[in-house]
Structure 1
């Protein structure tokens, strides 16, 4: 079904692996559309309770836009390329009502960094780095970086990273809040699997609505979020997992959540 990604589903988790190692998993139109399709498939499958995005190998998560492929095909409007391809991919991550984990196996540059930042949690290879390298070709960061980056690291640091395009290695990335965890590559799968295993047995509806309101909180005032908390808490109060969670608490046992 897919030519440029590997899409695997196992025991409640879906893994989307960018599979263009010859170009460091650079984003072609075809690759972007496959990622988006796989995200939407995983999002709508009730048996999938967590999504992982990663790249093939140890070298690169994603090196950004495949400029050579774009030039070979005759470069279309950059704005239209974002509207038609990149933006739907980013929206698919943010609109997924389940956790999306970035397994940052290697470098993430340009739109590859944007792809990583759009995920809910980033677990990184400590030898990787990130770079908003757009300024080096006379462009500005896109695919959501201008939204996510200042909210993660603050306006001043975001401006510095965007305007210099310098490499951010994982010690710094961890320190400034760009990634959640950084481990040696040999320990990367273990760290990702531990988190995914937590999500696979969690109250998925709770996490989905939590993510939805957190998205809204970035552009809402306190009164609006207080109301969203009330509306969505009412919905969660009618779920199987709430009833199970309360019963498990009273019976002093581990809750058996079903994601419903």
Structure 2
């Protein structure tokens, strides 16, 4: 039994094939998935997916790359999170790869999400790219350890992983960990404590080997688990069981049944 802890089933590449994608999930023993919000304008579609399917959950948030969209405030995020199918705040964080010149608005938005998560009592889904030091600093300053969360699609160093773990965060690996040139990331995946490990697809992006270059989907999270199992000398079944337990421990408002 596997859980895809981060995907975007509302995106066109997957939404137009919804029945096929869900059937493939079931055939691969991927029993649950978290559909992650990236814009408030699209949140109703994300929430609707979780309302229609008992094995899907939703988050609410605005991705740090998105500019021309509704800017979230703390009260609005808290209100939208007050729904039984919404289990997290995010995707939020910092991305200095695409936005090098005006990061202050990103930092303000990130703080808003962290404060909303604390008020809502729901964990954070954190994106960080070329911004690890500031991401960790803001998490500490805003008391993110009070609610915890996950460093999603992790591609950072062991030092960054250790700092996030100290804050009570989980580390989630995507299909990138299966790529041949991801040597440093593979080493981190081998060392993260089992009780803080998650797996994800970030579908429709970052399809793992052997599907690299194709549209990603939740069924492919099995390959992420298999690679992590290989790196750690564990069975895929154990990685499946552990990461599933971890998912429901972190996202405590999500029901297994």
TM-score using structure 2 length = 0.37
Point out which structure has higher relative CO (alpha carbons under 8 A, 6+ apart). 2
Question: Larger helix proportion, structure 1 or 2?
Answer: 1
Larger radius of gyration: 1
